[in-house]
Amino acid sequence: MTRKFVAPALIVLAVLVIGALVYTFSRTTPAAPTASTAPQNWVTFAARVDGIDPGPDPASVVIHVLLPAGNPGCSRSPHVEPIPGATETADAVNTNVVYESSNSAFGACPTQQLADVPFTAAAPIGNRALVLNTDAWHRTGATFARCDEFLGCTPPADHCADAWVDRAVFDLDVPVKHLHGVRDVLVCDGRWLVLDLNRHVGDCPVGNTSCVPPAGPVQRVVYAWDPRGWKQENGTKTGTCEEIRAALPEFPQALCEKLPPRR
């Protein structure tokens, strides 16, 4: 029988050629991507209301909301979602404004985009408050404005009212639950306000009448009325009538004489 022999050199050459073809194919032909079968999980969130404008009829408005954006799945479908069991009243219209997102991870949506959401109440809105996601808005001429946290939708006409004073004290970085306890109104005539502030009173829990706050310095603060509310003037070291009038000559002498010595 005659046997056929293949030269070793030819075998080596064939192996190298086949190997090169396999390497080239693997580099130029990527594997087909596998489609994900997992459904996107869209979750409902409260939308951030940026403004409200009147709609085409007395019962409707256009709500402007800021939605997260910047990547797929950040937001979709902004809409009004009625509150279960909530009804319109003579004073307010209550509803929620929401959107859906499937990409709520921190930093996943670095930008924002505006969207308009139409809403129609059951009856003309008129002067009723429009409560969206627990935040109240009220009509101010041709548009709507957000109601103030302390002043509500209708600020008190009396500038010495607690709501105006609370707002001024809050601007001094006092916790809301201690707004009344830490301040003592000394004089107020609607144009000028002077109060003593003892921050150490806030060390006692609210409602604990047996707690004695530690002694500490009392700050005397002078305010002048501004169209937007009470504006803090330059502080005083001693809070005396003479020092206040030296810094604020327009401060009335009659009010100055009513100030007790600072504690």
Q: Supply the pLDDT for residue 30.
A: 42
| Positive/negative CA dihedral, 153, 154, 158, 159 | positive
Determine the 3-state secondary structure of 169 from DSSP.
helix
Q: Supply the pLDDT for residue 206.
A: 59
Cβ neighbours, 10 Å, residue 99: 24
Strands 111-120 and 60-69 come out as antiparallel
Pairwise CA distance, residues 79 & 8, whole Å: 77
Q: What amino acid occupies position 95?
A: T
Averaged pLDDT in 10-residue chunks for the chain of 263 residues: 43 41 40 48 95 96 97 96 87 96 89 97 94 94 91 92 93 80 91 88 61 69 93 79 90 91 74
Strands 135-140 and 143-146 come out as antiparallel
pTM, two decimals, is 0.62
Q: How many helices (H) and strands (E) does the chain have?
A: 4, 13
Contact 185, 192 (CB under 8 A): no
Q: Which tokens belong to 196?
A: 């003593």
Please give the C-alpha separations between residue 127 and each of 39, 90, 252, in angstroms, as whole numbers: 45, 9, 39
Q: Supply the pLDDT for residue 172.
A: 85
Q: Where are the domains of the chain?
A: 43-146, 162-256
Q: Supply the pLDDT for residue 176.
A: 80
Q: Supply the pLDDT for residue 111.
A: 96
